[in-house]
């Protein structure tokens, strides 16, 4: 069955859909922008084809075109965005078929996340110049990213009121605006306190401020990390998520349970956390030497040996 867009309603319906995602689904601004762009791309694609109708054929042509330069995860998101959008339209217009329901998302590539060793983490954390206010801010940001395993957007979203130094806990608003409480160690508490001593007076509620005394952006967090990673002589590929990966990996290597790590990271399902159960070469060797009976000479010899 074919679908025909009602042109006069497109913009209104798209805005209604985005409002629905905010009010009903609690989607983050980042996801909203991505979904909006995905939908507009598809509508522009149909316009270029000179079509007011589309079926699975046009969908596949669109995905083939995007697949030439997009990752599988990005293609999957586009399918999800468009499937949700047309499902929303159907619920408000009529009961016609949604062609996107028959389109399967590509299987995600399972990549072992890039993470830093504990020694590299120390070098990175010690890179900022703590004799300056900006250096203290950067040190506090790095300590918060690694000490709490937060996403860049979560660090950016922190307000001063979200930090409880006495109980060493953060109130974090994660994906879907879901709140969770994350503990932090005394080292993290120390550097947040040191930063607060030099934090500029501002009308902003944000914990971390830029030079204009406004809330930092996720792009700013990325630049801060790259700057200090370069200074520390660490890979230029270090991102905020690298510190999150390192946080989870180090906790698991030291014996924390998968469920506990899931809660700390704010993952909705344990499947998202299992990617961190990779084990490095040295850790694998250590585990082997600890548990295999032959590594300790515990295997008894038979009389014939």
Cα distances (angstroms) measured from residue 112 to each of 189, 265, 277, 278, 293: 31, 17, 9, 7, 29
Looking at the chain, how many residues does it have?
Answer: 305
Decide if 151 is catalytic. yes
Catalytic residue among 175, 180, 194, 231: 175
Decide if 267 is catalytic. yes
Decide if 254 is catalytic. no
Helix axes 133-148, 186-198, angle to 10 degrees: 150
Decide if 237 is catalytic. no
Q: Are 75 and 28 in contact (CB under 8 A)?
A: no
Catalytic residue among 139, 151, 245, 250: 151
Decide if 276 is catalytic. yes
Decide if 244 is catalytic. yes
Q: Cα dihedral sign for 257, 259, 261, 264?
A: negative
Q: Which of 127, 35, 29 is nearest to 74 (CA)?
A: 35
Q: Are 267 and 174 in contact (CB under 8 A)?
A: no
Catalytic residue among 27, 85, 86, 276: 276
Catalytic residue among 78, 215, 244, 253: 244
108 token code pair: 């995600």
> What is the set of active-site residues?
151, 175, 241, 244, 267, 276
């Amino acid at each position: 069955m074919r679908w025909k867009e009602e042109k006069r309603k497109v913009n209104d319906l798209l805005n209604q859909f985005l409002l629905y995602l905010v009010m009903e689904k609690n989607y983050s601004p980042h996801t909203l922008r991505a979904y909006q762009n995905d939908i507009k791309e598809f509508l522009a694609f149909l316009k270029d084809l000179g079509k007011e109708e589309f079926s699975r054929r046009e969908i596949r042509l669109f995905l083939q075109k995007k697949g030439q330069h997009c990752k599988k995860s990005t293609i999957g998101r586009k399918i999800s965005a468009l499937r949700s959008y047309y499902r929303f339209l159907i619920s408000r217009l009529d009961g016609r078929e949604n062609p996107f329901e028959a389109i399967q998302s590509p299987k995600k590539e399972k990549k072992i996340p890039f993470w830093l060793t504990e020694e590299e983490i120390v070098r990175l954390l010690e890179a900022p110049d703590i004799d300056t206010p900006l250096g203290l801010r950067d040190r506090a940001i790095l300590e918060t990213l690694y000490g709490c395993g937060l996403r860049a957007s979560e660090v950016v979203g922190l307000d001063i009121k979200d930090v409880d130094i006495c109980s060493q806990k953060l109130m974090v608003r994660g994906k879907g605006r879901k709140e969770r409480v994350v503990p932090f160690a005394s080292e993290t508490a120390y550097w947040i306190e040191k930063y607060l001593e030099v934090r500029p007076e501002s009308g902003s509620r944000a914990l971390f401020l830029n030079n204009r005394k406004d809330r930092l952006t996720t792009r700013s967090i990325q630049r801060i990390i790259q700057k200090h990673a370069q200074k520390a002589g660490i890979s230029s590929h270090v991102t905020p998520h690298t510190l999150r990966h390192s946080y989870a990996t180090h906790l698991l290597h030291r014996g924390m349970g998968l469920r506990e790590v899931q809660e700390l990271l704010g993952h909705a399902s344990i499947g998202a956390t299992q990617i961190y159960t990779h084990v490095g070469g040295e850790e694998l060797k250590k585990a082997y030497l600890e548990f295999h009976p032959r590594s300790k000479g515990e295997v008894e010899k038979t009389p014939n040996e």
